[in-house]
């Protein structure tokens, strides 16, 4: 943060909103320091001589007449080695460093650097003196963790130029100049870290059409409602339906290179569980701790409300940084409803005209601007690399009402809708995603990907299985009226197959290691086994057999045990047949 220069004084304090006067040099979205304790804030409106500031810390005890200091900088994040495994608050202050300074409870006015300025990093050079470079070119690499190599890029604000100086390979901290580039605008210095404004998307060469799936290991998602790498999805659901469960499973098991989990207004005990659980979890591909590819942004419900509004932008900017390195990044925001509530509170204190249910009129545009920062992109630079930023936002509609403004504005801009169902959650069916009301708009984009990586005809089997589940919903009305005995043998057989799809395929047990994650190939073999039995069974019923003769106890037992067939023994699926 730049050193504060000029200052004015506080005129009015209304919760997290402070009105200042005598600061004619103030600019929109400039970071300011408020009061004697120099609390961090941001200019959000300038009206005549009144400057409106949202303060990211508790304002109790701050009063009129106290000074306001300008910094001249927008709210930024520091991007460089040391981000991975970090746990930050909503404005990228590392919680561990805050604890060292102030103990268990965060004191006000503490300014802590996001990255460790003293740590030395072993730098491997990829460029040499005299090389032509442009924005986005990778000039060096750092082995940040066992799971991730950090790539030092030419910052986006340095255009084409020639390297006139570069260090020798060795160990350096983030303050040291590692290269100098001569451009039309003079000599530019490159360090291991640089800053970027959180409200400004990082530039890319161009956006591409997403055609690769993000494999989560959750069968209801990957088979029925897949999300593309670089896509945007929403998980709406009422209290207790399992939003956090779904997001935790994706963060643990997805094949993203980097996972950013933004706890935006979540309950403190849930965030504490994540902080305790993640360091103990192992990456399924490498066996290393999951924290070696994870960043946590923790802005809990008891933290200042204004910082909640900034936390999602902090998270998405860090996500764009790793995307620019050519990685696949998954950003999980839990929950965007709390973020929208922060917007509503600030808007109310600004006395703006309210929209639906008191939310500001710009809720839709802010929601769209956030989700549209997701994407599959061609990164800046000369090496033709591609990156992915996938954004999945949880939405917590009051009373589970999906017609409320936050849910509706989210659904307008996201292409995947995983509808959580309270009835399924109460039955302990997890993930509690309702297969009749959920949808994905990536089916056509991912058709080739699923057939190649799962198996031939995967998408056709999926359509057939979905048809069975929809037919079951229709038949249930008849069963309630006249009983199952009144149905034909074909319909009774279909209901039994549908039950097998629900209980043996869609339901997953997170406490059984072998069932909590399922590869795409195994998902294909599971659904293929069920559909093969269904097709053969229909023929046998036409030949006069009863439904209960076809699905005997032995076959049902084999189907029920499909989920615990190890990934290395997938040939056992050959024995599951009529």
468 or 245, which is more confident?
468
Give the pLDDT score at 6: 65
First to last CA, the chain: 69
Residue 2 has pLDDT above 60, yes or no: no
305-324 and 363-371 helices, crossing angle to 10° = 30
pLDDT in tens, 15-28: 899 999 999 899 99
Give the pLDDT score at 296: 92
Give the pLDDT score at 373: 96
Give the pLDDT score at 34: 94
pLDDT in tens, 381-439: 988 899 999 999 999 988 888 899 999 999 999 999 999 998 998 888 989 999 999 99
The domain spans of the chain are 7-74, 79-100+205-441, 121-192, 454-575
Q: Indicate the helix (H) or strand (E) that contains 547.
A: helix 547-550
What class has domain 454-575? mainly alpha
Question: How many other β-carbons are positioned within 10 Å of the β-carbon of residue 104?
Answer: 5
CATH of domain 79-100+205-441: 3.40.50.300
Give the pLDDT score at 108: 84
CATH architecture of 121-192: Beta Barrel (2.40)
Task: Name which of 141, 134, 126, 123 is nearest 162 in CA terms.
Answer: 134
- Residues 486-513 have a mean pLDDT of 91
Task: Name which of 188, 302, 246, 197 is nearest 431 in CA terms.
Answer: 246
Give the pLDDT score at 1: 45
Say if 121-192 and 454-575 have the same CATH topology.
no
The band of 313, judged by pLDDT with boundaries at 50, 70 and 90, is: very high
> What is the residue-averaged pLDDT of the chain?
91
Output b/e per residue, 396-410; b: 16+ Cβ within 10 A: bbeebebebbbbbbb
DSSP, res 569: G
pLDDT in tens, 359-382: 999 999 999 999 999 999 999 998
pLDDT in tens, 237-288: 888 888 888 988 898 889 999 999 998 887 778 778 877 777 777 776 677 8
- Residues 542-547 have a mean pLDDT of 85
pLDDT in tens, 189-199: 999 999 999 99
Per CATH, domain 7-74 is 3.40.50.10300: no
Give the pLDDT score at 62: 93
Residue 467 has pLDDT above 60, yes or no: yes
pLDDT in tens, 99-109: 888 877 778 88
Exposed/middle/buried for 355, CB within 10 Å: 0-12, 13-18, 19+? middle
pTM of the predicted protein model: 0.93
Residue 227 has pLDDT above 70, yes or no: yes
Where do the H-state alpha helices sit in 143-293? 219, 243-253, 268-277
Q: Indicate the helix (H) or strand (E) that contains 524.
A: helix 520-542
Residue 173 phi, psi (nearest 5): -100, 175
Give the pLDDT score at 144: 92
């Amino acid at each position: 943060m730049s050193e504060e220069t000029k200052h004015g004084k506080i005129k009015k304090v209304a919760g997290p909103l402070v009105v200042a006067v005598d600061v004619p040099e103030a600019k929109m979205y400039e970071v300011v320091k408020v009061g004697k304790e120099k609390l961090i804030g941001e200019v959000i409106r300038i009206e005549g001589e009144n400057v409106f500031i949202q303060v990211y810390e508790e304002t109790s005890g701050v009063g009129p007449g106290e000074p306001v200091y300008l910094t001249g900088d927008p709210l930024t994040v520091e991007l460089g080695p040391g981000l991975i495994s970090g746990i930050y608050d909503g404005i990228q202050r590392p919680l561990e460093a805050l604890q060292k300074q102030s103990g268990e409870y965060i004191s006000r006015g503490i300014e802590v650097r996001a990255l460790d300025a003293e740590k030395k990093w072993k730098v491997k050079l990829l460029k040499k003196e005299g090389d032509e470079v442009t924005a986005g070119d990778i000039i060096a690499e750092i082995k940040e963790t066992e799971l991730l190599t950090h790539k030092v890029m030419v910052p986006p604000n340095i255009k084409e130029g020639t390297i006139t100086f570069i260090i020798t390979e060795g160990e350096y901290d983030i303050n040291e100049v590692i290269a100098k580039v001569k451009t039309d605008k003079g000599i530019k210095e490159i360090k291991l870290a640089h800053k970027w404004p959180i409200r400004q998307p990082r530039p890319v060469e161009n956006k591409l059409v997403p055609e690769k799936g993000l494999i989560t290991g959750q069968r209801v998602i990957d088979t029925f409602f897949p999300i593309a790498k670089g896509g945007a999805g929403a998980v709406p659901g009422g209290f207790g339906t399992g939003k956090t469960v779904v997001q935790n499973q994706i963060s643990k098991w997805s094949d993203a290179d980097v996972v950013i989990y933004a706890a935006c207004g979540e309950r403190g005990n849930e965030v504490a569980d994540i902080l305790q659980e993640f360091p103990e979890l192992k990456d399924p591909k490498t066996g290393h701790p999951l924290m070696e590819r994870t960043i946590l942004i923790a802005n809990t419900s008891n933290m200042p409300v204004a910082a909640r509004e900034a936390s999602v932008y902090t998270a998405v900017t860090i996500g764009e940084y790793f995307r620019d390195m050519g990685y696949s990044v998954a950003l999980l925001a839990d929950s965007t409803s709390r973020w929208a509530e922060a917007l509503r509170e600030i808007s109310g204190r600004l006395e703006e005209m309210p929209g639906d249910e008191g939310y500001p009129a710009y809720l839709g545009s802010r929601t769209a601007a956030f989700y549209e920062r997701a994407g599959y992109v061609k990164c800046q630079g000369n090496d033709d690399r591609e990156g992915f930023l996938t954004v999945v936002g949880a939405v917590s509609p009051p009373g589970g009402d999906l017609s409320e403004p936050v849910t509706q504005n989210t659904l307008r801009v996201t292409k995947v809708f995983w509808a959580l169902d309270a009835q399924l959650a109460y039955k302990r069916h997890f993930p509690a995603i309702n297969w009749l009301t959920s949808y994905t708009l990536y089916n056509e984009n991912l058709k080739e990907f699923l057939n190649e990586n799962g198996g031939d005809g995967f998408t056709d089997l999926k359509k057939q299985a979905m048809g069975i589940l929809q037919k079951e919903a229709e038949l249930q009305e008849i069963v309630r009226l006249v009983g199952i005995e009144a149905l034909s043998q074909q319909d009774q057989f279909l209901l039994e197959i549908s039950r097998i799809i629900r209980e043996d395929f869609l339901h997953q047990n997170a406490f059984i290691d072998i069932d909590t994650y399922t590869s795409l190939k195994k998902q294909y073999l599971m659904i293929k086994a069920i559909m093969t039995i269904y097709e053969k069974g229909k023929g046998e019923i036409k030949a006069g057999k009863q439904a209960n003769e076809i699905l005997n106890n032995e076959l049902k037992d084999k189907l029920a045990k499909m989920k615990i067939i190890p990934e290395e023994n997938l040939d056992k699926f050959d024995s599951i047949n009529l």
